[in-house]
Amino acid sequence: MRLIDLTHSINSRSKPERVAPVIVRSAQPVHLIPLDRLVTLATVIDVRDSLDKGVVSRKTLVRIGVSGIGGCILRSDWCDKVIAGHRENAPSLGVDAASYLLENEVTIVAADFPITTAASDLLLHNNCVLVHCLSGISCISRQIVRLIALPLKLEDTYSAEARVIAIEEE
């Protein structure tokens, strides 16, 4: 078993504009998210070479497949590049891709970029938990991992900073 921390480290020399906190968002208050939504198996989907004009599309996700798995982790390496000082536009998740995830019963979507478009509204309105701005996804070597998202238990809020860990099981 191997643990991979997907929450970036911050030190006293970090520039605040380079650090985007890892956030968990939900349609229900964060402290009421069921544990089975925050601890689940997840398929790691590498979207780096298949973005269509910066958008993660349904076609990209169908290629890998997520059926029967409660979560997915989208890897674009955007957050790691931003932390390293490179400036580029964040990818976005297309509505067609979000629909595909919901059709395949995904209940938590984690990504190394902000999920803030209309796709996020669709996912949230269908009781999906979103995790934004992970780092270090490149350290994951398996296609399926156990994803653990631990948001701060803030009452009556719909998003909170979080520690996120992937576990590669043998």
pLDDT digits (tens, 9 = 90+) for 120-137: 999 999 999 999 999 999
What mean pLDDT, rounded, does the chain reach?
90
Q: How confident is the model at residue 19 (pLDDT cuts 50, 70, 90)?
A: low
Q: Which residue has the tokens 């190394």?
A: 112
Which among 25-29, 59-63, 87-91 has the top mean pLDDT? Answer: 25-29
CA atoms within 13 A on the CB side of 3: 7
Question: Tell me, what's the pLDDT at 79?
Answer: 92
Confidence check: pLDDT of 52 > 80: no
CA–CA gap between residue 153 and residue 161 (Å, rounded): 9
Query: Among residues 135, 165, 109, which one has the least CA distance to residue 8?
Result: 135
Confidence check: pLDDT of 166 > 70: yes
The domains located in the chain, with CATH, are 2-154+161-168 (3.50.30.50)
Residues 6+ apart with CB under 8 A from 93: 55, 56, 74, 109, 111, 115, 117, 119, 120
Confidence check: pLDDT of 118 > 90: yes
Question: Tell me, what's the pLDDT at 35?
Answer: 93
In contact, 125 and 27? CB cutoff 8 Å: yes
CA-atom Rg of the chain in angstroms = 15
Q: Pairing relation of β-strands 2-5 and 108-111? A: unpaired
